[in-house]
């Protein structure tokens, strides 16, 4: 099993969720986060004062998928989250040793 963490632009969340639902992926955790990559934020003007916004709003999607669905899920997230502009996000993939469903003790892929 693999854990996928995708950090994307907030305005792309619905598009990514719909694309994942379209390939049969329903289970995910979504967290609103703040951060920056290479773009290091941007400058804004508020009441005549210019200031640096260095932590930009992002959305982190987390999910665990069977090994054989990894490439399909990553490809779907990449296509649906891409705007072609700087700050589109990143995807990280981790190995998952086990998963346990609390309700009935299912283990492994059957717990997904």
CATH assignment at residue 72: 3.30.70.120
Report the number of distinct structural domains present in the chain: 1
The one-character DSSP state at 62 is E
Q: Kindly state the percentage of the chain with pLDDT values over 70.
A: 94
- pLDDT at position 78 is 98
What are the distances in angstroms from CA 24 to CA 28, 35, 47, 97? 12, 30, 47, 23
Tens of pLDDT along 28-70?
A: 999 999 987 776 666 667 777 776 777 889 999 999 999 999 9
Block residue for tokens 């260095």: 54
Cα dihedral value 66, 3, 86, 20, nearest 10: 40
Block residue for tokens 């004062």: 49
Assigned token pair, 65 = 């998928």
The one-character DSSP state at 55 is S
Its domain, for residue 61, covers 2-111
């Amino acid at each position: 099993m693999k854990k996928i963490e995708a950090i994307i632009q907030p305005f792309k969340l619905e598009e990514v969720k719909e694309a994942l639902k379209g390939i049969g992926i329903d289970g995910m955790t979504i967290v609103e986060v703040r951060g920056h990559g290479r773009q290091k934020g941007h400058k804004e003007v508020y009441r005549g004062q210019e200031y640096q916004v260095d932590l930009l709003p992002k959305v982190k999607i987390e999910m665990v998928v069977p090994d054989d669905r990894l490439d399909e899920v990553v490809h779907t997230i990449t296509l649906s989250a891409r705007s072609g502009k700087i700050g589109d996000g990143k995807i990280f993939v981790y190995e998952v040793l086990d998963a346990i469903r609390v309700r009935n003790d299912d283990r492994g892929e059957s717990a997904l």
